[in-house]
Structure 1
Amino acid sequence: MFEIYLILATCFLLPICYLITNNLIYIYHQLKSLKDIEETTNIRCIDNKYILYAAHIYINRKKWLDCITILEFYMKQIRISELTTLVEYYNCIGLCYQYVNIYKTATEYYLKAYNKAPSTKQTLKNLANIYKLSGDIESASKLHQKLTRLNK
């Protein structure tokens, strides 16, 4: 009877240990990436994909101000040819403001992203969502229709 108890306990605890281990590895990689970015000697020459990765880490950890600060700083460093990166920066900043329920400022950033690239699906989704949260159902439905046309 005791062996059955041990087998059942092991079967229950093994998946929990697996999930905890995966989360610890994920957190380790996040911290290592942030530390690598911090240790960079020339902070103005960091690749944009690392900046976006760091921004998503801050978003996942609910550090909205850190995310907004890093993106605003590096937004000024972007060349005009990197339009898609700028749109991603605007979307991330808008997302941060949306999570802290500052819908007006989030809408402004989503509109900046929309003005730079009006056919980006993520921008359309974010803008439609913020309009729906703000109560502007008509604008949200127009954007959903445009998004549906883009998906076809």
Structure 2
Amino acid sequence: MFEIYLILVTCFLLPICFLITNNLIYIYHHLKSLKQIEKITNKNMINIDNKHILYLAKIYINRKKWLDCITILEFHMKQIRINKLIISAEYYNYIGLCYQYVNIYKIATKYHLKAYNKAPFIKQTLQYLANIYKISGDIERANEIHNKLTNLNSNEGI
């Protein structure tokens, strides 16, 4: 009887150990990436490359740290404006996505529209916009954006 109990406990604990191990590996890889970014930029955060900022934003979004993501992206957008460089549409998309997850749809729409104005042919931006319009109840605009997305997909096939 005791052996059956041990087998049942093992069968119950094994998936839990697997999930915990996967999460620890995930956290380890993110921390390792952050350390590499820190080594690259040693002095201050102003010199961080755009791809690293976007990677950090993805990490914050995956960890559901919306405010941290918005803060780092807004800070670097300000630095980019000071240095007179071009701001990527991805910055606006990620900020809009963060506001969307916090259920602040008006601000999320504003940022997704800025991303759309920067690069109107990015599928992800169109998907975010259609989703925001659906959530906020503007079905007409959602259908309009969805039609643009469909046209973009059909033109790609040609």
State the partner residue of 1:57: 59
Shift of 1:22: 0.9
State the partner residue of 1:31: 31
Deviations 1:50-107 (A, max 9, x none): 2112112222333222111111122244433xx6xx1111100001111222211111
State the SS of the aligned residue for 1:88. helix
Shift of 1:26: 1.2
Shift of 1:30: 2.4
Distance in 2 (CA, whole Å) between partners of 1:77 and 1:120 is 24
State the partner residue of 1:150: 152
State the partner residue of 2:10: 10
Distance in 2 (CA, whole Å) between partners of 1:102 and 1:147 is 24
Distance in 2 (CA, whole Å) between partners of 1:143 and 1:62 is 27
Distance in 2 (CA, whole Å) between partners of 1:132 and 1:51 is 29
**Aligned equivalent of 2:141, options 139, 142, 151:** 139
Please report the TM-score for the alignment, with normalisation by the length of structure 1.
Answer: 0.85
Shift of 1:141: 0.5
Give the letter aligned to residue 10 of structure 2.
T
Shift of 1:150: 2.0
Map residues 89-128 of structure 1 onto 2, 5 A cutoff.
Answer: 89-128=91-130
Q: What's the % identity of the aligned pairs?
A: 77
Structure 1 residues without counterparts, runs of 5 or longer? none
Structure 2 residues without counterparts, runs of 5 or longer? none
C-alpha RMSD of the superposition: 2.0
Give the letter aligned to residue 3 of structure 1.
E
Distance in 2 (CA, whole Å) between partners of 1:137 and 1:113 is 20
The count of residues paired between Structure 1 and Structure 2 equals 148
